């Protein structure tokens, strides 16, 4: 049996790996940081992937969705140090099978057992059904981005869109992006500059006029 643990915090990954090893002493456990070029291939070969929601180059949900588009077999268990509500909907839509708090190791192990038996957390889909849902969502025509100015970079477009959902809340937007509030504030300033808006309030008024909230 092979497990993959994806976490950019080596100490946290080691702790989770050690706990799983107690229950599955014969298991092979590989630890990845989420930046490996062959990470999808590594995860494809695993019986279970345990994935942190905050990674370096992309968020856990983004990585999960990327895996799920080509893999309808391997269950993915998400973990986060944030309250579950921060990532629950996003991870479910990305094709994950369960989400637990990073420090609740007993709950994590219970979910490992459930997922290895083919189950999923209530409200989540098993891998094959989750893959179909992700692919169906990908096939839907994109209309939400029509009102986002073309002058913005892809990251700025994401920040712009999330401001339409969460308002001027850099902390919440940072959680969704797997980034830092200070980084989000930098992107907001860049968006204002490119759109010729003196203040963030002006940007929020623009979002309201465009019906993004």
- Ordered per-residue pLDDT tens for the chain, 213 residues: 999 999 999 999 999 999 999 999 999 999 999 889 899 999 999 999 999 998 988 889 999 999 999 999 999 999 999 888 888 888 988 999 999 999 899 999 999 999 999 999 998 999 999 999 989 878 765 545 556 788 888 788 888 988 988 889 999 888 888 778 998 999 999 999 999 999 999 899 888 877 644
Q: Enter the DSSP assignment of 86.
A: G
The Cα-based distances of 83 to 12, 50, 86, 87 in angstroms read: 17, 17, 6, 8
pLDDT of residue 136: 85
pLDDT of residue 147: 67
CA 99/CA 144 separation, integer angstroms: 27
Does domain 144-209 fall under CATH 2.40.50.140? My reply is: no
Domain ranges of the chain: 2-139, 144-209
pTM of whole model > 0.85? no
Q: Enter the DSSP assignment of 33.
A: -
Looking at the structure, give the CATH architecture of the domain made up of residues 2-139.
Answer: 3-Layer(aba) Sandwich (3.40)
How many alpha carbons lie under 13 Å from residue 46 in its C-beta half-sphere? Answer: 27
pLDDT of residue 211: 63
């Amino acid at each position: 049996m092979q497990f993959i643990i994806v976490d950019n915090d080596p100490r946290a990954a080691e702790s989770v790996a050690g706990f799983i090893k107690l229950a599955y002493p014969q298991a092979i456990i590989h630890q990845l940081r989420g930046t490996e070029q062959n990470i999808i291939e590594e995860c494809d070969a695993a019986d279970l992937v345990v994935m942190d929601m905050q990674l370096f180059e992309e968020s856990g949900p983004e990585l999960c969705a990327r895996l799920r588009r080509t893999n309808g077999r391997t269950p993915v268990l998400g973990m986060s140090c944030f309250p579950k509500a921060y990532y629950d909907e996003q991870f479910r839509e990305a094709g994950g099978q369960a989400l637990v708090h990073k420090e609740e190791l007993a709950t994590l192990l219970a979910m490992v057992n459930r997922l290895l038996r083919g189950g999923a957390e209530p409200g989540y889909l098993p891998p094959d059904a989750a893959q179909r849902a992700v692919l169906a969502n990908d096939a839907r025509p994109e209309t939400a981005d029509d009102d986002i100015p073309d002058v913005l970079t892809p990251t700025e477009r994401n920040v712009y869109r999330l401001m339409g959902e969460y308002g001027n809340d850099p902390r919440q937007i940072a959680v969704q992006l797997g980034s830092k509030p200070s980084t989000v504030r930098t992107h907001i300033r860049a968006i204002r500059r490119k759109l010729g808006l003196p203040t963030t309030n002006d940007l929020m008024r623009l979002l309201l006029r465009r019906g993004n909230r």
